[in-house]
Amino acid sequence: MRLIEPLTLSFGARAAAMVAAGVALPFGDGGAFAVARLFDDRRLVGVVRAGDLAADWVDVAARLIGGREWAGMAALPAVMGILNVTPDSFSDGGIDDSVAASVARGLAMVEAGAAIIDIGGESTRPGAAEMPVQQELDRLLPVIEGLRGCGAKISVDTRHAKVMRSVLMAGADIINDVAALAHELDAAETVAELNAPVVLMHMRGDPSSMERLGHYDDVAVDVTEELALRIDMAERAGVARHNIMVDPGVGFAKNAALSMELLNRMAILANLGCPILLGASRKRFVGQYTEAARPEARLGGSIAAALAGVARGARVVRVHDVAETVQALRLWEAL
């Protein structure tokens, strides 16, 4: 697989001027890059100025230009608020004592500017064990019922085909799968049948085994190519490409140094031709680089990660702290 990794990114008027001058090529939605690394079959073959890109790489560069609409949302980048309804999630597990409290927290996120509410009924933190599907549904369905019509898209974070079908029939709009539709044989077919937008996240193994599988030749290239295989699998099962968003899965089968490198080089994922979601909020690597031991103390680092992600092409950021992230993104876009 041929990949172009943008090394210098600009946005807004500066990007448009550079493209017009022929010294940069378009990137994402309104961005541009002036210098790039080139990879062919996972090998670095050169570093070039965009204006000097050879003709046989032009088709590859065309993949880096994104459209603005996904899941019926034209206004991107967007904030996805995390609403875990589990007792054991790493950051916010067990903070709600009732369905009403979870619904109220979701509505507060919408009021604060979240375009998507991502509801999770099963913890996928490192080391987490799989839980019964019915227990997951018992947690999810009442909250979906309470949030229907709230003004935001409803996403459900699940690996299970039966859960996917049930929540989509109950009014959810999006499936967010940490296993990229690989955990169960009929997951991809379910998403395809119901024509649902889906987030395919990169992970190796499962939450109980992933920490043993974090060995990469080049984490950015390897993650991009492994996600390309998951996209191909989804399309062969009938999932429409315009419904697919990808997530590099920082913190999943990636230690702090690998997560930081992947975040820094995330623009390479644009080669996949799908919009990008970044979920870095309160992650362990944020705490390790900022010396913030408690997840809830990682607000500043989480906002920095979200802005870095958007500056590298992320179209959705998945966060715990919605109001603060929305404010930061508004200023970033104004700048």
How far, CA to CA in Å, does 303 sit from each of 74, 117, 243? 23, 18, 27
Same domain, 264 and 147: yes
Same domain, 23 and 127: no
Same domain, 318 and 184: yes
Burial 176-209 (b: 16+ CB within 10 A, else e): bbbbbbbbbeebbbbbbeeebbbbbbbbbebbee
Q: Which pTM value belongs to this model?
A: 0.94
pLDDT at 189: 98
As to burial, measured by CB atoms within 10 angstroms (0-12 exposed, 13-18 middle, 19+ buried), residue 261 is middle
Give me the number of domains the chain comprises: 2
pLDDT at 206: 85
Catalytic option among 105, 159, 230, 318? 318
70 within a domain of the structure (yes/no): no
Catalytic option among 165, 204, 283, 315? 283
Distance of CA 191 to the CA centre of its chain: 18
pLDDT along the chain (335 residues), means of 10: 96 94 93 97 96 93 86 89 80 72 97 97 78 94 97 97 98 98 96 98 90 93 98 98 97 96 98 96 96 96 97 96 97 90
Same domain, 16 and 128: no
pLDDT at 68: 67
Same domain, 91 and 33: no
Domain that holds residue 27: 2-62
The question of whether 318 is a catalytic residue gets the answer: yes
